[in-house]
Amino acid sequence: MITLHALKYSRATRVLWLLADLGQPCNRVDYDRTERFRAPEALKQVHPLGKSPVIEDDGEMVAESATILRYLVEKYGDTSHRPAEGTSAYWQHEALLDYVEASFAEVALKAILPAFGGEPVPDEARAALDVHLAYITRLIGDGPLLFGHRAMLADIQMSYILALLERFGLLTGYPVLASYWDALQQQPGYIAATQAAGPMAPPSDTERK
Ligand SMILES: N[C@@H](CCC(=O)N[C@@H](CS)C(=O)NCC(=O)O)C(=O)O
């Protein structure tokens, strides 16, 4: 059985979501956040970067949430979380799946981290974030999800960043993205994952020290 190293309030929920969709159980090893909202030292014993998610399966250790999602659909022969191969939608989806961590996350976190610390979001960070939020708004189009009604890997990947943006009030003025976030929260895999492991974003009484 797959072992998932799952830090609280983290990207590990993406993996739990896909596993729920695939009907695959896992051995979930939970890690609490430290007082400073970091990963505990114990995660460094698992992987040199000390980040979550990481999975172990049949002697393989796989890090990076996008790679883990790809690994799982390949392993279980799932074709329902990606557009059909050979279509242009297939490559648009691959690009979006990589876009979330390779481009969007860094820009989003430059706005999220000050907001989490109770500080104003610098104008430059807000302006950079706005470029990405406008871009994703265009991608959603008529929605409700990125590729219509079925949740794809890229939707699962988006969910963590959207959860944090919404939590810190950074989606205000983006009604399409607010609706997208609502639609993500209605997905059965999201519901199962968050019921099992708690919310993706920290609750409002959590302080970042
Ligand atoms: N690009 C990686 C990012 C992994 C990552 O930064 N995970 C966060 C949790 S969401 C973490 O472990 N942070 C703890 C820390 O840096 O102390 C992925 O997509 O899996």
**What CATH number corresponds to the domain at position 59?**
3.40.30.10
- Residue 203 has what pLDDT? 87
Can you tell me which residue has the tokens 């820009």?
107
- Find, among 129, 92, 130, the residue nearest to 111 by Cα: 129
d(CA 105, CA 100): 6
Task: Pick the atom of ligand 1 nearest to 52's CA.
Answer: 12
Angle between helices 88-99 and 153-167 (to 10 degrees): 40
* CA-based radius of gyration for the chain: 17
Residue ranges lining ligand 1, Cβ < 6 Å: 7, 10-11, 38-39, 51-53, 64-65, 101
Tell me the pTM: 0.97
Amino acid occupying residue 20: A
Q: Cα(52) to centroid of ligand 1, in Å?
A: 5
Which amino acid residue places its CA nearest to atom 3 of ligand 1? 64
- Find, among 180, 165, 176, the residue nearest to 126 by Cα: 165
State which residues form the domain around 60: 3-80+192-206
Q: Cα(10) to centroid of ligand 1, in Å?
A: 7
d(CA 159, CA 161): 6
176 and 119 within one domain: yes
Q: Cα(11) to centroid of ligand 1, in Å?
A: 7
174 and 106 within one domain: yes
d(CA 118, CA 136): 26
75 and 95 within one domain: no
Span 119-178, pLDDT tens digits: 999 999 999 999 999 999 999 999 999 999 999 999 999 999 999 999 999 999 999 999
Q: Cα(21) to centroid of ligand 1, in Å?
A: 22
Mean pLDDT, rounded, for 61-74:
98
Strands 54-57 and 60-63: antiparallel
| CA distances from residue 166 to 61, 63, 185 in whole angstroms, order as listed | 32, 26, 12
Burial of 28 (0-12, 13-18, 19+ CB in 10 A): middle
- Find, among 117, 198, 201, the residue nearest to 165 by Cα: 201
Span 68-85, pLDDT tens digits: 999 999 999 999 999 999
Q: Name the residue of 30, 52, 96 whose CB sits within 8 Å of the most ligand 1 atoms, as the mutation to test its pocket.
A: 52
CB 91 within 8 A of CB 183: no
164 and 93 within one domain: yes
- Residue 207 has what pLDDT? 59
The sign of the CA dihedral 90, 92, 94, 100 is negative
Q: Cα(101) to centroid of ligand 1, in Å?
A: 10
Domain total in the chain: 2
